Amino acid sequence: MVWVINFAVKIINMPKNEKIFTDNYKIFLDSVDIPILILDKFDLKTVIYSNELIEKTFQIDKSQKNYTDFFLDENLIKHLSYHLFSFPLHQEIEIDERFFILKSTKIYDYIFLFFNDISLIKKNDMIKRRYVDSISHELKTPLTNILLYTEKLQNCLDESSKESLKVIYSNAQVLKKLIDDILVLSKLDSHELLITPSKIKLRAMIVDIMKELMPLADSNNVDIEILVPSDLEFYGDKKLLHRAFKNLIENGIKYNNSGGIVTIKGLLEKNTIAICIDDDGIGIEKKDITCLFNRFFRADEGRTKGNTKDGTGLGLSIVKNVINQHKGIIEVNSEPGKGSKFKIILPTVYS
């Protein structure tokens, strides 16, 4: 986008009364490889100039001055009418199975609209996702068999072999979790997993999660405390939020010390609900907090040794994705040796 900056600088440095769209500028605009449309800033309708790529990319009637007649595609006109008033504009739009990032900038009396074609990136993403999905599905069946037969062998072996079998079993479980996480993330990315909102009773959901995590909490000697009023209700996708909260509570148990505690609080604030999952465990170093939600990120192995062996590094990216899709936010506060606090704020009604 260096050319845009250069172009803007040239225009800004020009005397105000100089005509912007001299032939030189038109030649310049026609030579760039992004479709550009320039509208009058005041009426937001009159087409001042369109570069050659606009003509090649969209169906237009060049004799028309109003963009609603200039473009012949109803869908494109709808997008423009809907988004033109938001400023600065940065919106993904789909026109005839092609994808564009529509951006705008105001320069003097003009609005410049840039239609950045991202169809190829989208197509490549889809191919990659399908590829990852197929591999993951192919791996799932043999792994399920490994887990099944390992369970069966459990009772036919002597004590020392049982120990080896345990190692095989727990490693196979990590691989299965990794595959499940990859498949969920891939679905979330593709927006295939649409949010299905229904009424959620937060306390009941947290109690269910606690029951599922009790064996882990017992074996790590970590307590779980639930401070959620029983009448706290909101709307969201039950399955996805269950997964997200479970991941956070599970982390609070996994990255904790024996005798530690995980506290879950719920609070209604006007049109939002706040869910806090706090632990007094090993904590997270400042330098790691910014990468926490990156895929496959796991904090320094040395520091968390023994705790991270069954992790995939994908849990928190799923959490973030689920919260984003609910138009919520997630905040983290943590101090090494003192513990971590994860706060989620969600709208009470999903729209």
Q: Report the nearest approach of ligand ADP to the CB of residue 140 (Å).
A: 18
| Paired tokens of 186 | 């891939």
Closer by beta carbon to ligand ADP, 273 or else 319: 319
The residue number whose beta carbon is nearest to ligand ADP equals 311
**Contact call for residue 263 and ligand ADP (CB under 6 A):** no
Distance (Å, whole) CA 275 – CA 138 = 37
Give the binding-site size for ligand ADP (rule: CB under 6 A).
Answer: 22
**For residues 161 and 220, is the Cβ–Cβ distance under 8 A?**
no
**Contact call for residue 298 and ligand ADP (CB under 6 A):** yes
Q: Taking Cα atoms as reference points, which of 104, 108, 113 lies closest to residue 12?
A: 108
Which 90-129 residues touch ligand ADP, going by CB under 6 A?
none
Distance (Å, whole) CA 346 – CA 133 = 30
Closer by beta carbon to ligand ADP, 73 or else 310: 310
Do strands 110-117 and 98-107 pair parallel, antiparallel, or not at all (unpaired)? Answer: antiparallel
Closer by beta carbon to ligand ADP, 109 or else 300: 300
Binding residue (CB under 6 A) for ligand ADP from 247, 263, 264, 350: 247
| Paired tokens of 195 | 């949010």
**SS3 (DSSP) at 75:** helix
**For residues 251 and 288, is the Cβ–Cβ distance under 8 A?**
no
Binding residue (CB under 6 A) for ligand ADP from 304, 323, 344, 346: 304
Radius of gyration of the chain (CA): 27
**Contact call for residue 316 and ligand ADP (CB under 6 A):** yes
Which 46-85 residues touch ligand ADP, going by CB under 6 A?
none
Binding residue (CB under 6 A) for ligand ADP from 206, 276, 299, 323: 299
Distance (Å, whole) CA 68 – CA 326 = 34
Q: Taking Cα atoms as reference points, which of 135, 257, 155, 237 lies closest to residue 191?
A: 237
Q: Which stretch binds ligand ADP (CB under 6 A): 109-117, 152-160, 207-215, 309-317?
A: 309-317
Binding residue (CB under 6 A) for ligand ADP from 112, 315, 320, 321: 315
| Paired tokens of 221 | 């000697």
Distance (Å, whole) CA 288 – CA 301 = 12
Q: Report the nearest approach of ligand ADP to the CB of residue 215 (Å).
A: 17
Binding residue (CB under 6 A) for ligand ADP from 311, 322, 346, 350: 311
**Percentages helix, strand, coil for the chain, rounded to the nearest 5?**
45, 25, 30
Closer by beta carbon to ligand ADP, 80 or else 248: 248
Binding residue (CB under 6 A) for ligand ADP from 251, 263, 328, 345: 251
Which 273-292 residues touch ligand ADP, going by CB under 6 A?
279, 281-284, 292
**Contact call for residue 308 and ligand ADP (CB under 6 A):** yes
Q: Report the nearest approach of ligand ADP to the CB of residue 310 (Å).
A: 7
Distance (Å, whole) CA 54 – CA 73 = 13
**Contact call for residue 260 and ligand ADP (CB under 6 A):** no
Strand order in the sheet with 223-227: 223-227, 261-269, 272-279, 339-347, 329-335
**Contact call for residue 244 and ligand ADP (CB under 6 A):** no
Residue 262 phi, psi (nearest 5): -115, 125
Closer by beta carbon to ligand ADP, 172 or else 282: 282
Q: Report the nearest approach of ligand ADP to the CB of residue 248 (Å).
A: 7
Q: Which chain residues interact with ligand ADP by CB under 6 A?
A: 247, 251-252, 255, 279, 281-284, 292, 297-299, 304, 308, 311-316, 340
